[in-house]
Structure 1
Amino acid sequence: MQARRGVYEPAISVENLSVTYRVAIDRKQTLRSAAKRLGRRQRLVKEVHALKDVSFSVSPGAVMGIVGANGAGKSTLMRAVAGILPPSKGRIVVNGRVSTLLALGVGFNGALSGRENILLGGLAAGLSRRQIEQRFEAIADFTGLDIDILERPMRTYSSGQYSRVAFAVAVHMEPDVLIVDEALSAGDAKFKKRAEAKMRELVVEDSSRTVLLVTHGLATIQKMCNEAIWLHEGRLMKHGQPGHVTRDYMKFMAVQESEATALEDI
């Protein structure tokens, strides 16, 4: 990740980003209204503005936490930065190889073995077959699964075994940019402890890696991150030091909850 001489180049640059979904509305309808729409070949759809004109940049080596209530647009932002979702408007520039811990195991093929999916995951991350083979033993050891299990089709795995393989693949790709969305809950208690230790190593001990971390654990944001942003209903509310951002977010949520309680009492 190199910058031009004398010119600052962020690891991640998000400029005026908007993401809009078009979703079908599922509601009761009369036979007459349904017939009208069929006759016109029309579908009943609604636009959902998941992100609205969001702009920020992340310095190389920074660990940025993202906070916000459910539906704030956090996961949409992560998928857009990862290149999974295209922007409806705006621009995203990411410098370096990206590895994601979003929906664990997205892209895995259940008909293939754990070993074969480890190979696929590495190839998708931009590694060569030789590089993946060199890391296979470390990945397999990290999962804690026996080799005979890794030779079975992944459709036979429990959800915990599936998550172990997906997490192990993602954290052993040595990315320049790591995107983490609530991935610390993978596996059983023993594996969670190992996963948290690995995340500390990736996030805290290696200052060369840029990290985006989405979690509802505000203590984790304050402990692991050196900057944070707060999203609400698709808009960027605040960008700054983790302590300041989480404090204002907690104050806002307390007000929102008290207002909701008051409305229920009316």
Structure 2
Amino acid sequence: MSNEIEAKETPIIEFKNVSKTYTLYKSSREQFSALFYHSKKLHKHKALNDVSFKIYKGESVGIVGNNGAGKSTLLKMITGVSFPDTGDIIVKGRVAALLELTAGFSNEMTGRENIYLKGYLLGLKDKEIKGNMEDRVVEFADLGEYIDQPVRTYSSGMKMRLGFAININIEPDILVVDEALSVGDASFKKKCKNKIKDLIKSGVTVLFVSHNKDNVEEVCTRAIYLKSGTVICDGKVEDVLKVYESKNKK
């Protein structure tokens, strides 16, 4: 937990007074018009509001909050998909994101070929993919002969298994997980959880978003509770979940 980390250590992730506002459009026509005409009537949504926190190497941090709390926006900023309007974000190391697990797949390429394609998109070289990583992905995904069949022949569950296997085996410094443990059957879910725990033990920093309290407690030692784009509570996972549950009792 962050308050137990020596001050001399440098955070691997740091948010400094980060804010992000989105414009919400009623229609595609209104969005197109906004390119040419400024309107004060457009609805603004503040996804993050002056958010600050530090996460250190090897921490496993749960991000909790109701829908619309700002969790996805926060993760998108860590992965470099979105950027703040104000404030600073520091992220150090290779990030593997278990968000859109099947993003970047080519349906006409085989599962094995897609391992290379996804690897290239993540910035890996041939020598980093060929051999150990490729073998680990194939073994973990456990797709049998389908690994050499076009991805268009896969079910959605098979695609997600392959996506999870690729992202979990690229040797990341930071692993971002957003409800990805809904992948596959009970046996595969357990396999995924065990792999995440092994990564945490090896020093990988994990950010875990889930609405499942038990999953958060099982994987994380610290949690950050977001509400309406603001950090309400940051501390030991059991303490934060108590606050989160108390705020959501009907």
Q: TM-score range by the shorter chain?
A: 0.7 to 0.9
AA of the residue aligned to 1:14: F
CA distance in 2, matches of 1:214, 1:253: 17
- Residue 160 of structure 2 corresponds to 163
Q: What is the Cα deviation at residue 140 of structure 1?
A: 0.8
2:139 paired with 1:138: no
Q: What is the Cα deviation at residue 191 of structure 1?
A: 1.9
Which of the numbers 120, 127, 141 marks the counterpart of 1:123?
Answer: 120
- Residue 178 of structure 1 corresponds to 175
Secondary structure at 1:184 match in 2: helix
Mapping 1:85-124, distance limit 5 Å: 85-124=82-121
- Residue 76 of structure 2 corresponds to 79
2:23 paired with 1:25: no
Which of the numbers 201, 207, 216 marks the counterpart of 2:211?
Answer: 216
Q: What is the Cα deviation at residue 42 of structure 1?
A: 7.3
Which of the numbers 213, 226, 230 marks the counterpart of 1:231?
Answer: 226
TM-score by length of 1: 0.82
Secondary structure at 1:211 match in 2: strand
- Percent identity between the two aligned chains: 38
AA of the residue aligned to 2:225: W
CA distance in 1, matches of 2:62, 2:163: 22
CA distance in 2, matches of 1:116, 1:45: 45
User: Are the aligned partners of 1:11 and 1:58 in contact in 2 as well (CA < 8 Å)?
Assistant: yes
AA of the residue aligned to 1:158: S
Call closer, same or farther: CA 1:41–1:156 in 2, change over 3 Å: farther
Mind listing any 5+ residue stretches in structure 2 that lack a counterpart? Answer: 1-6
User: Are the aligned partners of 1:19 and 1:89 in contact in 2 as well (CA < 8 Å)?
Assistant: yes
- Residue 246 of structure 2 corresponds to 251
Mind listing any 5+ residue stretches in structure 1 that lack a counterpart? Answer: 1-5, 28-33, 258-266
Superposed CA RMSD: 2.4
User: Are the aligned partners of 1:121 and 1:169 in contact in 2 as well (CA < 8 Å)?
Assistant: yes
AA of the residue aligned to 1:102: L
Secondary structure at 2:50 match in 1: strand
Q: What is the Cα deviation at residue 8 of structure 1?
A: 2.8
AA of the residue aligned to 2:221: N
Question: Per-residue CA shift, 1:223-260, capped at 9, x if unaligned?
Answer: 32221100011111011111111111111111xx2xxx
Secondary structure at 2:90 match in 1: strand
Q: What is the Cα deviation at residue 45 of structure 1?
A: 4.4
AA of the residue aligned to 1:91: D
AA of the residue aligned to 1:226: T
Which of the numbers 62, 67, 71 marks the counterpart of 1:65?
Answer: 62
Q: What is the Cα deviation at residue 83 of structure 1?
A: 0.7
AA of the residue aligned to 2:143: L
CA distance in 2, matches of 1:95, 1:112: 32
Question: Per-residue CA shift, 1:57-112, capped at 9, x if unaligned?
Answer: 00111111111111111111111111111112211111111111112122222232
AA of the residue aligned to 2:172: P
User: Are the aligned partners of 1:160 and 1:188 in contact in 2 as well (CA < 8 Å)?
Assistant: no
- Residue 241 of structure 1 corresponds to 236
Call closer, same or farther: CA 1:8–1:197 in 2, change over 3 Å: closer
- Residue 194 of structure 1 corresponds to 191
- Residue 260 of structure 1 corresponds to none
Structure 1's consecutive aligned runs of 4 or more residues displaced over 4 angstroms after TM superposition are: 40-45
CA distance in 2, matches of 1:42, 1:202: 48
TM-score by length of 2: 0.87
AA of the residue aligned to 1:112: M
